Every structure is written in structure tokens, then in C-alpha cells.
Amino acid sequence: MRILLSRIRENFLGSKLDVILSITGALFIYFILSTLISFILNSDWTLILVNRKLMLTGLMPEEEIWRAWTIFSLTTILMTTSIAFWFKINIKSSIFYILLLLIPLLIFTTKNTLLYVLFIMILSIVFFYLGYRSKNSELKNIVSRIIMISWIILLPICFLILNILDGPKMTLWGGFMINLILAAIAIFAGFPLGILLALGRASSYKLIKLISTLYIEVIRGAPLVAWLLLAWFVLPKFLPNLFGLSDLNIVVRAMIVLSLFASAYIAEVIRGGLQSIPKGQEEASFALGMNSISNTIFIVLPQAIRIVIPTIVSTFIAIFKDTSLVFILAITDLLRIGRLIPEQQQAFFGKSIESLAVVALLFWVVSLVLSQISRTIEKKLNI
Amino acid sequence: MPSSLFTQFKSEDSIKKKLNLLFRNRIFRRFFIQFVFGIFLLLLFFYIVDKALNLELGFGHLSSRAGFGLSHTFIIDYNSNDSRWMGYFAGVINTIRVSLVGIVLATILGIFMGLARLSPNFLINKISTGYVEFIRNTPLLVQIIFWQLILLQLPHISKALTFGGLSVFSNKGILLPIISSNENGSLWTLILFLGLIISLILRSRLFKYKEEHVDLFSPNLISFFTFVVIAIISFFALSIKLSPSVPEVNINQYGTYIQSGGFILTPQFAAVLFALVLYTGTFITEIVRGSIQSLPKGQTEAAMALGLNTYQRITLIILPQALRSIIPPLTNQYLNLTKNSSLSVAIAYPDLFMVSRTIMNNAGHALPMFVLILITYLTLSLVISLIMNIINLRVTRIGA
């Protein structure tokens, strides 16, 4: 008790300033919490219950929903496996991950998809256990390789699932799914392109250096909304009239622009990593008889990327948040759905804040998972 | 080496081996790769130019009558009969206005929250952590829309909150009392600003002089006196009359409510500003925290040993040192804030991006407008970088 009291005195009432700060802080926290709690208790959340399907997949027809859920199952299972396999698991972090997994599931589960949720839950637990057990077994290397490969082929498989057997038109994709897909594509395509650009900017070839620098600076010069608008107005006129490229649908155009935009930002991050590699590494690899290509691929790049992993993940988070800007292309992403519900459904007129709160919560959960993962990697690599 | 290349060609090996040798030559390889790349680029360039020539080019359309009104104009008076150029400049000024105010407020918020993040006080620490974790991980666009919704939930103007007649809070905006003056007021403000700069320069010069020569006067007092003299002389020369302007709501003869006086924060401007400040503030918080944490702990301990109090410790020891590593990433955040202000298009605050979009919708000419947008944002970025570089130079010089 005395320890507690002295701890309190030290923490809250150390000096006059501390007393004032503690009191204002307590009042502030009380104000925020009371507003939040009264908002949560006083608002009518049937809005989500009715529109769960709309929020998850937008205007996708009901009979195609299985595609979205299959993708979610695959991603969730892969994610739990990798977390179990790569990360140190303690009770605190596992509770955190389980809670975060539950929030989207609770929001999105409907009667028709209950089976999917159960399926995801059971398989996740099984794979979590398997991943955890194989961490220290002889199969370690093989499992690690399998997980890596699955992450790489995850996106093509998702596309296959979305398009196989007469899939819905791309313009019908929507809701939270399209945010996740756009972010995944932008990261998947932007990352290799970003590496190339970073290498180009660090290259000794003057022309390549000039072009990479110009590209990076111009892309970073204007905001993303401007580039998206460019994709809307101008991009189709510049694409060749081959294979129907000139009338690409708006979702693909958004994907192209997001990837190009992401690549410029990723390139800048990786350039920082490249600059921090001491010159001795390069000289040593030349002394070992490597040529400049294998030096780049096997010596410089792995070290550079390792250093900047946390920054890259925060770039990924930024890209994920930026997918909400596709509102300007009239793609029905989560935010647009969240704004349309209170405008178009009579039962929910004027409930904009509730619907926006759900949208914010979903974005927040995914970003929080990513930033947690980045923090774990940071600790693990000891950067 | 070109000469060795020449001798290599003279040897009588097979062509394949010659090519192989040629390609192993560094200078040739560099030249060859860049040549191929250059040709590829040239082709791409011609392709793009060819396609671009089919589009509407030129800025001629910007000189004709705009035909759209703007809800916010600042400094320049604009109406729908002016040219599109004028509309565009009004948009640029709106962008600069929201970015400038945003940058100042976000910096203040970021520094305070960054210090709070390191505070041993549990409550303050947790408030700062919660602020960063929550605001940083939600999209800025969601926040802008959220603030607009909140501000539109304020009471209707007929039931506006007045806080004892000092300000008006309604869903038409927030009116705050200010001191207003007659028509020379803006000129006087400009002179005051110049006077402030002059007296600051004078102060640093005097300090330098004092250090080198005599220790008889107080530079602080002299420079303050200079400023006051400049202010008073210009005050009487311009015959300024100051009067407090308190906002009020009246009903005119048609029964509509008119709000007048004071300084107005419209819901759109306030929403964009709040969201930008809070969002950018989280990043600045993290920058400040990181920079302070990277300082050796001995600095704080030494300051404590010298008997400095918390305020002196922060302003005299910690912040000046931390500033050196704060400023480069801070510049980046300022640039981001300026670019992010384009999101105000979602809630119809007429910044330069929204005006350009309106012009594009009205008159076409999308490509030239994009070039214009790009040039404008690049110019703004360059100006910010330039100012920050100058500050950075000063800060590093003081520290060294």
C-alpha cells in the first residue's frame, strides 16, 4: 500500500506542474471516455447489422459472396500460421491478435457466412498450432519456404478466385474487400518497382539515375488524388489501342496509379537503406570476385532492405490508408459505402457519424495489426 | 580504356570472342546500356508526345470567364465573372492558407505531444500514446469527413451558442472575436511584421557586437524599443483606428439570419484544418520523441545537476539539440501536409485541387491542368524545403 502511494505520488504529484498536468489529463480522459461511451451506448447499431454485406463486398451480387469469404479465409489462415511460426508468442500478444481478428469477423458475419467463420476459426487454430510446433522441428526450413511461397502466390490465387467461373465484373467489387485488394496490389507491384527505382537512383549510369530521380520526384510532387484524377481523365488516352487496353475499367486504372505512386515512396525508403550500407561491403564482395549484379542482389540489397523494414511497413500502412482516396474515381470502397448508407437508406438518415465510426474502426484495426507486426519485426531483427 | 580496346580488336580471335571482350569493357558497356535505354526512352517520349498532341493543349481556356463561385476567398476578391486564372489563384491562396495555419498548429501540437510522450507522468504519457495510436492509424480522409460531420452537428444558427455574446458557434461556422481596424489595417500588419523581422535581426547583430566589443547595453531592450518605435510611428502615420469586432447574429427584413463581425472559421475550413493538424501532429510527435530519445541521457542528468528546472531543461538543453535531427523529417511532414490539403476536395473546401477539378469538368483541357497542378505543388514544396533548409542551416550552425 505504501509502495502504491509513493508510486502514485511520484507519477502524478511530483511537482506543481505535475499536479496541474495530472488533473487536466484526468479531466481530458474523463471527457473523451464519457463522450465515447455515451456515443456507443446511445446510438443505434442496427446500421451495421443490416449493411454488413454491403460494407464487406459493396455491390457484389449475393451469390458471389463466397469468393470474398474464401479469400478472407486463405489470408487469415496464412497470417495466423506465419505469426505462429515467425513471431515469439506470449499470452499478451496472442490475446491482442485474437481480439483484432474477432472485430472484423463480428462485424461482417451474417447467417449465410457463419459456416465460413467457423471454418476460418477451426482452421486458423489448427494451423496456428502446426506453425507453432514446426518452429523448432526439423521441418523448419521447409515450412518457412512453404509460407514464403504461399505469401507470394496468395495474390494471384485471390485474383483467380475472384475471376474463375464467371466472376462478377471488376467494377462490382467494392467495400472493404476492394481496399484490401488495392493495397495488396499496390504493395505487390510497387515493391519490386520501388527497388528498381532505388537502385536506378543510386546507379552510376547517369541517364538511368536522372530518369529514376525525375520519376520519383515528380510522382512525389503531386498528391495521390491528383494522380487518381489523371487516371480518370487522361490515362486512357495514352494507352495503346491493343487488347482493349484503352478502355480499361476504373478499378484497374486505380491499381496502376496506386502501384506507380507506391513505387516512388518505397524507392525513397529503400534508397535510405542503400545509403546506410558501408562501402566496405561492396569492396569486399568485389574482392571475392563477385560482379556488380550479384553484389547488388546478394550483398547490398538484403542488408539495405533489412534495415528499412519498419519504414517500409509504415509506407505500406500509408498506402493502405490511401486506398480510401479512390472515392474520387467513384469506386464503391468502404468509405464511400459508409457515406452512402446514411444518405440512401431511409432507416438510417442522419446516422453518418455511426457509419463513419465503423469505417474508421475497420481501417484502424488493419493498420494496427500491420504496425504491431512491424514493431515485432523491429524487435526481432534488433534494429 | 579506349587504347586497350583498340589493341583488343587488332587480335585475330573469332568475332564471338571479340564481342565478348567488347562487352566486358566497362566504358563500352556503360555506353551501350545507356544508349539502349536512351533509345527506349526517346521512343516512349515520342509516343507520349504523339498521343498528347491529339488532346486539348494550352492554357487559353483559363483566360475566359470562370462562371463558378467559390465559397471561400481570402485576400483576393473573386467572383464568377472573373477569369479562370483568378479562380485558380484563389484556390492556390486557399491551399496556402490552410497549409500555413496547419503547419504552425501541427508543429506546436507535435512538440507538446512529443514531450508528453516522454513524460514520467502516467496519465499524460497515455493520452499522448493513445492520440498517436488512434489518429495515425485511420485515414486522413475519414478524419476530414468526421470533423465536418461534427461541425455540422452544431446547433442551427437560430439557436447558436454565443458564450456570453463573445463568439458564435453554429453549423454555419465558428465566429471568434478579433480586433479589427480601418482600411490601412493590412498594411499596418505588414509593417509590424517587417518591424519584427528588423528588430530580430538587430538583436542578433547587437548580441554579436556586445560579445566582441563592449558590455554596456542590453540588446533585448534596444531591439524591443526599435520595434515599439516602428509600430507607433506607422500607427500614427497611417492613422489607424482599432476597434474590437465582436461577432453577432441578426435577422434581416426577410427573416434570414445574418452573422457578422469577428473572425469566421467555416465548417469546411475548420474541418480540413483540424484533421490536417491532428493527423500531421501524430507524425511530428513521433519525430520529436525519436529525436529526444536519441539524445544521450547524460544531457538531461547534467542539466538536472546544474539545477535547471523542467522548463529550462527542455527549452535550453534538450530541444536545441533535438532540433538538429528533427528538422529534416519535419520538412517531409510539412510537404505531406501541403499535399494532403488536396483531400479537402471531399468536403468542398475550394483549394487549388478542387478549383482545378471544377475547371476540368467545365472546360476540359485535363492535361494542361495537370501540368499546372503539378507545377504549383512542386513550387509550394520547393518553397517549403528552401525555408526549412535555411532554418536547418541556422540550427546546425548554432549547435556546432
Q: Supply the CATH number for residue B355's domain.
A: 1.10.3720.10
Q: How far is A164 from chain B (nearest CA, A)?
A: 32
- Could you tell me if B364 and B280 lie in one domain? yes
- List pLDDT tens digits, range B148-204: 888 888 777 777 777 666 677 777 777 777 777 666 667 777 888 888 888 888 888
Which residue from A minimizes the CA distance to B335?
A: A221
Q: How far is B80 from chain A (nearest CA, A)?
A: 24
- Could you tell me if B364 and B284 lie in one domain? yes
- Determine the pLDDT at residue B274: 92
Q: How far is A355 from chain B (nearest CA, A)?
A: 10
Biggest CA–CA distance in chain B, Å, is: 104
- Chain A partners within 8 Å of B126 (Cβ): 29
The residues that bridge with B169 in the sheet, in sequence order, are B161, B174
The reply to whether residue A226 touches residue B373, judged by beta carbons under 8 angstroms, is yes
The reply to whether residue B145 touches residue A339, judged by beta carbons under 8 angstroms, is yes
Task: Answer yes or no: are the C-beta atoms of B248 and B259 closer than 8 Å.
Answer: yes
Which residue from B minimizes the CA distance to A370?
A: B137
The reply to whether residue A226 touches residue B38, judged by beta carbons under 8 angstroms, is no
Q: Between A233, A324, A360, which is nearest B366 by CB? A: A233
CB pairs under 8 A between A and B: 133
- Chain B partners within 8 Å of A225 (Cβ): 342-343, 345, 353
Task: Print the SS3 string covering A229-282.
Answer: HHHHHCHHHHCCCCCCHHHCCHHHHHHHHHHHHHHHHHHHHHHHHHHCCCHHHH
Tell me which residue has cell 439557436.
B159
Tell me the Ramachandran region of residue A277: left when phi exceeds 0, alpha when psi lies from -120 to 50, beta otherwise: beta
Which residue from A minimizes the CA distance to B150?
A: A353
Q: In degrees rounded to 5, what are phi and psi of residue B41?
A: -65, -40
For residue B74, being part of any structural domain is answered with no
State the sign of the Cα–Cα–Cα–Cα dihedral A110, A113, A117, A118. Answer: positive
Q: Other C-beta atoms within 10 Å of B116: how many? A: 22
- Could you tell me if B98 and B12 lie in one domain? no
For residue B40, being part of any structural domain is answered with yes
- Could you tell me if B47 and B149 lie in one domain? no
Residue B106 pLDDT level (bands cut at 50, 70, 90): very high
- Could you tell me if B13 and B141 lie in one domain? no
Which residue from A minimizes the CA distance to B357?
A: A229
For residue B227, being part of any structural domain is answered with no
The reply to whether residue A321 touches residue B139, judged by beta carbons under 8 angstroms, is yes
Distance CA A307, CA A297 (A): 15
Q: In degrees rounded to 5, what are phi and psi of residue B81?
A: -85, -10
Instruction: State the DSSP code for B259.
Output: E
The reply to whether residue A205 touches residue B30, judged by beta carbons under 8 angstroms, is yes
- Could you tell me if B47 and B92 lie in one domain? no
The reply to whether residue B339 touches residue A223, judged by beta carbons under 8 angstroms, is yes
- Could you tell me if B304 and B373 lie in one domain? yes
Residue A329 CA: distances (Å) to CA of A41, A232, A258, B82: 35, 7, 12, 29
- Could you tell me if B304 and B376 lie in one domain? yes
Query: Which one-letter amino acid corresponds to residue B205?
Result: R
Decide: residue A277, CB within 10 A, 0-12 exposed, 13-18 middle, 19+ buried: middle
pTM of the model: 0.84
The residues, ordered by sequence, that sit 6+ positions from A62 with a Cβ below 8 Å of its Cβ are A53
- Determine the pLDDT at residue A46: 77
Distance CA A262, CA A198 (A): 13
Q: B51 vs A17, which has greater pLDDT?
A: B51
The reply to whether residue B30 touches residue A363, judged by beta carbons under 8 angstroms, is no
Residue B281 pLDDT level (bands cut at 50, 70, 90): very high
Distance CA A188, CA A320 (A): 12
The whole-number average pLDDT for the span B363-380 is: 87
- Chain B partners within 8 Å of A23 (Cβ): none
Q: Other C-beta atoms within 10 Å of B268: how many? A: 24
- Chain A partners within 8 Å of B143 (Cβ): 360
- Chain B partners within 8 Å of A350 (Cβ): none
The residues, ordered by sequence, that sit 6+ positions from A303 with a Cβ below 8 Å of its Cβ are A273, A277, A281
- Could you tell me if B21 and B102 lie in one domain? no
The residues that bridge with B342 in the sheet, in sequence order, are none
How does pLDDT run along chain A (383 residues), one tens digit per residue? 667 777 666 666 666 777 888 888 889 889 989 988 888 888 777 777 777 777 777 777 777 777 777 777 788 777 777 777 777 667 777 777 777 777 777 777 777 777 777 777 788 778 777 777 777 777 777 777 877 888 888 778 877 777 777 667 777 777 888 888 889 889 889 999 999 999 888 888 888 888 899 899 888 888 999 888 888 888 877 777 766 666 678 888 888 899 999 999 999 899 888 888 888 888 888 888 888 788 888 888 888 888 888 888 888 989 999 898 888 888 888 888 888 888 877 777 777 888 888 888 888 888 888 888 788 777 777 65
Q: In degrees rounded to 5, what are phi and psi of residue B47?
A: -60, -50
Distance CA B366, CA B59 (A): 10
For residue B142, being part of any structural domain is answered with yes
Residue A11 CA: distances (Å) to CA of A17, A209, B119, B138: 12, 54, 9, 31
CA-CA-CA-CA dihedral for B226, B232, B237, B240, to nearest 10: 140
For residue B201, being part of any structural domain is answered with no
- Could you tell me if B14 and B139 lie in one domain? no
3-state secondary structure at position A333: strand
3-state secondary structure at position B92: helix
3-state secondary structure at position B312: helix
For residue B350, being part of any structural domain is answered with yes
Distance CA B91, CA B363 (A): 17
Question: What total number of domains does chain B contain?
Answer: 2
- Chain B partners within 8 Å of A221 (Cβ): 374, 377-378, 381
- Determine the pLDDT at residue B6: 57
- Could you tell me if B325 and B392 lie in one domain? yes
The residues that bridge with B170 in the sheet, in sequence order, are B173
Q: Between B51, B122, B140, which is nearest A12 by CB? A: B122
The reply to whether residue B123 touches residue A356, judged by beta carbons under 8 angstroms, is no
Q: How far is A295 from chain B (nearest CA, A)?
A: 16
What totals of helices (H) and strands (E) does chain A contain, helices first? 17, 0
The reply to whether residue B153 touches residue A222, judged by beta carbons under 8 angstroms, is no
The whole-number average pLDDT for the span B250-266 is: 72
Q: How far is A359 from chain B (nearest CA, A)?
A: 8
- The domain of B304 spans 84-155+265-399
- Determine the pLDDT at residue B1: 46
The reply to whether residue B120 touches residue A11, judged by beta carbons under 8 angstroms, is yes
The reply to whether residue B366 touches residue A234, judged by beta carbons under 8 angstroms, is yes
Task: Answer yes or no: are the C-beta atoms of B400 and B320 closer than 8 Å.
Answer: no
3-state secondary structure at position B175: strand
Q: In degrees rounded to 5, what are phi and psi of residue B169?
A: -110, 110
The whole-number average pLDDT for the span B381-392 is: 88
For residue B147, being part of any structural domain is answered with yes
For residue B199, being part of any structural domain is answered with no
- Chain B partners within 8 Å of A211 (Cβ): 37, 41
- Chain A partners within 8 Å of B138 (Cβ): 321, 360, 363-364, 367
- Could you tell me if B44 and B143 lie in one domain? no
